[in-house]
Amino acid sequence: MEPKEIWKGIYVVGGPGLSHPADCCVYLVDAGRELVLIDAGAGPGIDAILRNVKILGFDPVGIGHLVATHCHIDHIGGLSRIKEVSGCEVSGHQADRDGIELGDRRLTAADLYGIEYWPVKIDLILEGAEETHLLGDLEFHFLHTPGHTPGSIAVYLDLEEGRALFGQDVHGPFSEDWGSDITRWRSSMEKLLDLEADLLCEGHAGIFRGKDIRAYIESQLRRYRHL
């Protein structure tokens, strides 16, 4: 597989087949004055992710911000390396701070992957139910979507082409070790449905467009209806 543009200014640069089997889907946004990376993969595939950024014609040094959608190792394992290469700022939610900044192996699920995690300081700490921040030339809307982890977040952009949503790990899974809460997750999924996005970039399931977005999220709500 090759990195590619999935919407104007939005690219997929990491994930199984692109970087490393343990990686989540990693997305790149061209925000004008800077590049914004959504998640960082598990770590072992970071060289491939950075190479994919170059293949698309961008300089990884231009990554000015990295959004950590939650504290699991497959999403944050590459944080320290990307920060080292680019000097980027990192955003994450206060409720997942112990995982990201302290590297608690239970919260990061690092033991499940057998991967070492190097903790990173969060520069932009998100605390509210919804916050909007200007990254580069674009407004990024950060929505707190607890359930998979206490500090899970989704990010959306309103662009000329429509609303692009990075709703990482809509599909779960859930564990008491990570502080999962299925009731809060259901509420979070309703929030995502209410956004009526035109593009959904999911953390492992890939890309959904138009009516397929609602169908996918509702299928996950049905999947866990008995929990």
> Is the pLDDT reported for residue 158 higher than 80?
yes
Read off the pLDDT of each residue in 141-153 and give the average, rounded to a whole number: 98
> Is the pLDDT reported for residue 24 higher than 80?
yes
pLDDT attached to residue 52: 98
DSSP states of the chain as a string? ---EEEETTEEEEESTTTS-TT---EEEEE-SSSEEEE---SSTTHHHHHHHHHHTT--GGGEEEEE--SS-HHHHTTHHHHHHHH--EEEEEGGGHIIIII--HHHHTHHHHT--------SEEE-SSEEEEEETTEEEEEEE--SSSTT-EEEEEEETTEEEEE-TTTT----GGGT--HHHHHHHHHHHHHH--SEEE-SSS-EEETHHHHHHHHHHHHHTTT-
pLDDT attached to residue 78: 97
The mean of the pLDDT values for the chain is: 96
Query: Using one digit for the tens of pLDDT, what is the confidence trace for 167-221?
Result: 989 999 999 999 999 999 999 999 999 999 999 999 999 999 999 999 999 999 9
Superfamily of chain region 4-223: Ribonuclease Z/Hydroxyacylglutathione hydrolase-like (3.60.15.10)
Q: What percent of the chain has pLDDT over 70?
A: 100
> Is the pLDDT reported for residue 71 higher than 90?
yes
pLDDT attached to residue 111: 84
